[in-house]
Amino acid sequence: MYGMVNKAVQDMVCSQFGEDQWEAIKKKAGVEDELFISHEGYPDEITYRLVGAASEVLGLPADEILKAFGEHWVLKTAAEGYGEMLDAAGADLGEFLVNLPRFHTRVAMIFPKLKPPSFAITDRGERSLRLHYHTHRDGLAPFVVGLLGGLAKRFDVEARITQIADRTQGADHDEFQVEW
């Protein structure tokens, strides 16, 4: 994944747990990079190793780390670096999520080697919808839950996010029911 992702993991750990913890996590993960370059590609394995090491060092389940990371991604990483892009994608949660399937097409203009997730929306109600998440990567559904939680905070609404299909349990893809 692009270095921006690892950089954001670093930023989340440093701001929420401190620099010392980050150094310990990097050491445990066997990652020697002094810094990550946002627009350079890194093997996905680096990101997975960082998340695994963060889970051990901080004593939190990896799913919790991924959730916290998803929130941080929306509220800090994307908001600070790509605010206009987020603004253009919707003025409320419903509008944003309806536009989400097209979102990474625009991201790919900045990151041409992006291997983006793909999203689809079905069962749209007034304040609810079903979000389908397709990816060629494993284990990132909790990241999506965190991203959705971050979006709810961004739009200042209480949202209930329930995973209703789980690829790790044999489903074809992950599905989330989102109500707000």
Minimum distance, C-beta of residue 153 to ligand HEM, in the bound complex (Å): 12
- Is there binding between residue 135 and ligand HEM (CB under 6 A)? yes
Distance from the first to the final alpha carbon of the chain = 31
- Pick between residue 127 and residue 137 the one whose CB is nearest to ligand HEM: 137
CB-based contacts of 17, cutoff 8 Å, min separation 6: 58
| Binding status of residue 5 toward ligand HEM by CB under 6 A | yes
Counting every residue written for the chain, the total comes to 180
**CA 92/CA 102 separation, integer angstroms:** 16
Tokens 């960082």 label which residue?
50
Minimum distance from residue 20 beta carbon to ligand HEM (Å): 27
Does the protein bind ligand HEM through residue 82 (CB under 6 A)? yes
CB crowding 93-108: b at 16 or more within 10 Å, else e? bbebbeebeebbeeee
| Sites for ligand HEM among residues 90-129 (CB under 6 A) | 100, 104, 107, 111, 114-115, 117
Q: Which is nearer to ligand HEM, 25 or 152 (CB)?
A: 152
Given the structure tokens 């995973």, which residue do they identify? 163
CB 175 within 8 A of CB 121: no
144 binds ligand HEM (CB under 6 A): yes
With binding defined as CB under 6 A, does residue 66 bind ligand HEM? no
The least CB distance from residue 58 to ligand HEM, in Å, is 21
Number of residues that bind ligand HEM (CB under 6 A): 22
Asked if residues 7 and 80 have their Cβ atoms less than 8 Å apart, the reply is no
| Interface with ligand HEM (CB under 6 A) | 1-2, 4-5, 74, 78, 82, 85-86, 100, 104, 107, 111, 114-115, 117, 135, 137, 140, 143-144, 147
